[in-house]
Amino acid sequence: KILGNGGSAAGITGIKNGSIYGDVCYKPVDEGAKALDTLYTQITGKTTASHKVLTYNTPAITLANVDQCVAQW
């Protein structure tokens, strides 16, 4: 079985056609937006991060839930 890592359009297509078993729904656009929003709120003093590492949900995807991951690259 082949697993991808990144949630690319090619990976999602591969899951749908059966050439890849699974992948991770990585969203670089969302990650960048979160980084810039966090930076802005820190610089402007609107909020202070409660911890040093901020993450977002990157679920495993398979044929059962592939439609829940929209490729961003």
pLDDT at site 24: 92
Position 19 scores a pLDDT of 93
Which residues of the chain carry a pLDDT beneath 50?
Answer: none
pLDDT at 32: 92
What's the pLDDT at 66?
95
> What is the C-alpha separation between 4 and 13, in angstroms, rounded?
11
pTM: 0.72
Backbone angles phi, psi at 40, to 5 degrees: -60, -45
The DSSP line for 3-59 is: B-SS--HHHHHHHHHTS--BEE---HHHHHHHHHHHHHHHHTTS---SSS-------
42 and 49 in contact (C-beta within 8 Å)? yes
pLDDT at 36: 92
